Structure 1
Amino acid sequence: MESFVWEWGSLLLRWLHVVAAMAWIGSSFFFIHLDASLKRTPDIPAGEGAAAWQVHGGGFYEMRKYFVAPEHLSPDLTWHKWQAYTTWLSGFVLLAWIYYAQSRLYLVDPAVMDLSAPVAAALGVGALALGWLVYDRICRSKLGESETGLAAVGLLAVTLAAFGFSQVFSGRGALIHTGALMATWMAGNVFFIIIPNQRKVVAALLKGERPDPSLGKQAKQRSAQNNYLTLPVVLMMIANHYPMLFESKATIPLIVALVTASGAVIRFFYNRRHADHARSPWWAWAAASVGLASAFVLAVAGSAGGRAVLGLPPQAEGPPTTALASATPPDHVVELVAGRCAMCHAAEPIWDGIGVAPKGVRLDTAEAIGRQAEAIRRQVVLTHNMPPNNVTEMTDEERGVIAAWLTDTAR
């Protein structure tokens, strides 16, 4: 029953996280677009506001933005904050549920660094907290006064973070933590900067006072950064489904840098286009295409099968892992898995159409099978989810053999 609880909990948390992220990203993109499309209107004095007209669902909408409090300001203001908070909170719980509570399966790779579960979790949480403090300090420094300089340092920080995570965690753990770090910056911007500053501005306007212009400037800067980080973060969140991105720890930092830069350039295109279609920076698509194509080449070159396709020499084998001896399967189980699973789950898969082991899971050695014992139990014994559509015709008797081994291992 425990395995089913873990799976069901993962499903519900992921569902909540995705829905919350959709709401957050949707509202963010909407207001960025709205701000960019605002135009002067005769009934609002110059410098005091602007408006934009939109059509949707058969109706027409006039959106007005006031730079100062209008004469009749409703106290029932809608604050767009809980989308961000719910996204981060659900994401962190999901991170803990999958990667910290099941660290041996998803986060810790003994070939990289053999960490205990508590140490791995502490490193992950500590890195997120420290990452926010460093990022916030940089934004508040003199460097934060230059948008270009801040963007360059931010890209460097993301790349260095990816490198650091790849030195201590599994490939998928490194990518998910890099994405979580960027998401922490974004949620922190909303919680610590944007919403508090907005509250101060609203309070001043309601009193008839002139708000401190630095509050709005700071909030707008952080909001813009969130906008540029959105696309890279989304890709990091789904990257664990694409092992070609994290098979080689040597390529992870460069792939992260290229994806982050490409995603930001794509957002730059839309931000400029929403403001003035005639001045759309079409070159941005060429730049993003080059960046993503480069990331693709690096990802292919980082996989064993990809290197063979590119005519590159094979990478040196890493040090042997230190899987628990109690999980190491007997020879007849290794033979069974080799015949039913290892044609896909190998360093160089031989199944047509598969270039990298699905989810980065290798089952081509006894040690690798032992490390994936819990995943095998869930996918092969409890649910019959693997092999997919039972393409290799694994019999119930063979599943029983695997179940017997797993039962012996659990004793």
Structure 2
Amino acid sequence: MDDFALMWEWLSFAVRWLHVVTAIAWIGSSFYFIALDLGLVQRPGLPKGAYGEEWQVHGGGFYHIQKYLVAPERLPEHLTWFKWEAYTTWMTGFAMLAVVYYAGADLYLVDRNVLDVSSNVAILISLGSLGLGWILYDQLCKSPLGKSTTGLMLILYVILVVMAWGYTQLFTGRAAFIHLGAFTATIMSANVFLIIIPNQKIVVADLKAGRTPAAHLGAQAKQRSLHNNYLTLPVIFLMLSNHYPLAFATEFNWVIASLVFLIGVLIRHYFNTVHARKGNPHWTWGAAAVLFVIIMWLSSVPQVLTGERKISSAEERFIASVHFPAVRDTVMGRCSMCHASETAYDGIHIAPKNVKFDSDNDIAAHAREIYLQAGRSHAMPPGNVSGITEEERRLLVTWFEESR
């Protein structure tokens, strides 16, 4: 039994789980405070320096919340800092990137029909793009362009569109979407780590020292927080996209990703407007629906074929195995009705996760997935609809473990 493959699969599961949990914590607190900030009301009798207040009810009790744009004259000894949610979301997301896409670069990251580079070069490109993305974004925010909220948002959107296209010229479609999400999430997390929290710490230190805090620190932090607010929903889409090849594995995948950012902005605009008590812009939902229909249409456009993928030495070993002819027969008989360029199973119009077994090379490229999904577990075929036998499952296990 290949214990390492099983342990690595469980590690991937654990990292994904932790990433989802921390992301829920960050997104939940972020959405809550954005709604709270927009819903603040200025009433007579507020304490000195208070910008507004909000009364809320939850869990059988009432909450009376007041916001100070700078800070009150006296601070309590204990302050609750909302930062670790953002930090751990990024760290677990990067861990998932390393476990899935860096460790499995030959399968998940590199597409040699797109860019013929080694796994190490692809990983360096990945790391460099994330770091350079933050530097470019940060310098734009600090430049004179940063004084125009609308102008800056438009420029940032253009950058995201360029990156959406650029990643599809570097990696597999699946990896391109994940990297666009990581690119955006890196900017969001760095906003918290390098701007929002440091600015708040300076304000607290000034107050404790008896100095008047600079108001621009709060304005800068608020601008970055606003960006994070509008970027959140597209990042969630990109996180989930690896389960939907209609999004990442079609010819216009980068256009789809670009439109998703617009949908996210429209939805957040609706909630921000409602929370600020400035109206009820239902039109945003209609516009979002139209964009989603366009995305559905784009996903149906036939994909341009780019030729046969080059195979690795490991894949050659799987094909050379004495067990491979029987494995090929099993896969073609039990799996290819769904996992093929032209599917034959009712209701399946595109191969799940874009995994196709059209050739020997395709089967060898997905040997690990076949081993885990149909050999070591009974996940595939779903409900054993194709009637794979236990003997055939043992064959898949033997083939994989003896060929590694």
TM-score normalised by the shorter chain: which range applies?
Answer: over 0.9
Do 1:68 and 1:205's aligned partners in 2 also have CA atoms closer than 8 Å? no
Task: Specify the alignment match of 1:9 in structure 2.
Answer: 11
Task: Report deviation, 1:48.
Answer: 3.3
Do 1:49 and 1:67's aligned partners in 2 also have CA atoms closer than 8 Å? yes
Task: Specify the alignment match of 1:382 in structure 2.
Answer: 376
Do 2:70 and 2:203's aligned partners in 1 also have CA atoms closer than 8 Å? no
Distance in 2 between the 1:61 and 1:316 partners? 57
Mapping 1:302-321, distance limit 5 Å? 307=302, 315-321=303-309
Do 1:158 and 1:256's aligned partners in 2 also have CA atoms closer than 8 Å? no
Q: Determine whether 1:402 maps to 2:359.
A: no
Task: Specify the alignment match of 1:166 in structure 2.
Answer: 168
Deviates more, 1:327-336 or 1:208-217: 327-336
Task: Report deviation, 1:408.
Answer: 4.3
Q: Call closer, same or farther: CA 1:370–1:114 in 2, change over 3 Å.
A: farther
Q: Determine whether 1:299 maps to 2:299.
A: yes
Render the CA deviation track for 1:37-88: whole Å, top value 9, x for unaligned.
1112333257632110001111111111123432442021111000000000
Mapping 1:56-95, distance limit 5 Å? 56-95=58-97
Moved over 3 A (4+): 45-48, 329-332
Alignment-mate amino acid for residue 388 of structure 1:
P
Alignment-mate amino acid for residue 308 of structure 2:
P
Mapping 1:107-122, distance limit 5 Å? 107-122=109-124
Q: Call closer, same or farther: CA 1:9–1:407 in 2, change over 3 Å.
A: closer
- Residue 113 of structure 1 aligns to a residue whose secondary structure is coil
Alignment-mate amino acid for residue 275 of structure 1:
A
Mapping 1:11-26, distance limit 5 Å? 11-26=13-28
**Residue among 318, 335, 341 paired with 1:327:** 318
- Residue 52 of structure 2 aligns to a residue whose secondary structure is strand
TM-score, with normalisation over the residues of structure 1? Answer: 0.92
- Residue 235 of structure 1 aligns to a residue whose secondary structure is helix
Alignment-mate amino acid for residue 234 of structure 2:
P
Render the CA deviation track for 1:357-381: whole Å, top value 9, x for unaligned.
1111111211111111111111121
Deviates more, 1:221-230 or 1:69-78: 69-78
Distance in 1 between the 2:344 and 2:100 partners? 30
Q: Determine whether 1:364 maps to 2:355.
A: no
- The percentage of counterpart residues that share the same residue type is 47
Q: Call closer, same or farther: CA 1:71–1:155 in 2, change over 3 Å.
A: closer
Task: Specify the alignment match of 1:198 in structure 2.
Answer: 200
Task: Specify the alignment match of 2:258 in structure 1.
Answer: 257
- Residue 175 of structure 1 aligns to a residue whose secondary structure is helix
TM-score, with normalisation over the residues of structure 2? Answer: 0.94
Distance in 1 between the 2:219 and 2:116 partners? 46
Q: Determine whether 1:268 maps to 2:272.
A: no
Distance in 1 between the 2:342 and 2:124 partners? 34
Q: Call closer, same or farther: CA 1:162–1:69 in 2, change over 3 Å.
A: closer
Mapping 1:205-224, distance limit 5 Å? 205-224=207-226
Mapping 1:18-167, distance limit 5 Å? 18-45=20-47, 48-167=50-169
- Residue 262 of structure 1 aligns to a residue whose secondary structure is helix
Render the CA deviation track for 1:150-179: whole Å, top value 9, x for unaligned.
111111111111211111211110000000
Do 1:51 and 1:64's aligned partners in 2 also have CA atoms closer than 8 Å? yes
Deviates more, 1:375-384 or 1:325-334: 325-334
- Residue 349 of structure 2 aligns to a residue whose secondary structure is coil
Do 1:377 and 1:403's aligned partners in 2 also have CA atoms closer than 8 Å? yes
- Residue 111 of structure 2 aligns to a residue whose secondary structure is coil
Task: Report deviation, 1:395.
Answer: 1.0
Q: Determine whether 1:373 maps to 2:374.
A: no
Number of residue pairs aligned between Structure 1 and Structure 2: 396
Do 2:130 and 2:186's aligned partners in 1 also have CA atoms closer than 8 Å? yes
Segments of structure 1 that go 5 or more residues without pairing to the other structure are 302-306, 308-314
Distance in 2 between the 1:123 and 1:94 partners? 17
Alignment-mate amino acid for residue 129 of structure 1:
G
- Residue 350 of structure 2 aligns to a residue whose secondary structure is coil
Do 1:108 and 1:115's aligned partners in 2 also have CA atoms closer than 8 Å? yes
Task: Report deviation, 1:216.
Answer: 1.1
Alignment-mate amino acid for residue 344 of structure 2:
I
Task: Report deviation, 1:332.
Answer: 3.8
Task: Report deviation, 1:145.
Answer: 1.4
- Residue 168 of structure 1 aligns to a residue whose secondary structure is coil
Do 1:144 and 1:150's aligned partners in 2 also have CA atoms closer than 8 Å? yes
Alignment-mate amino acid for residue 20 of structure 1:
T
Render the CA deviation track for 1:331-377: whole Å, top value 9, x for unaligned.
44323211110110111222111121111111121111111111111
Do 2:376 and 2:393's aligned partners in 1 also have CA atoms closer than 8 Å? no
Distance in 2 between the 1:274 and 1:103 partners? 44
Q: Call closer, same or farther: CA 1:132–1:71 in 2, change over 3 Å.
A: closer
Task: Report deviation, 1:138.
Answer: 1.3
Alignment-mate amino acid for residue 52 of structure 2:
A
Task: Report deviation, 1:236.
Answer: 0.3
Task: Specify the alignment match of 1:228 in structure 2.
Answer: 230
Task: Specify the alignment match of 2:180 in structure 1.
Answer: 178
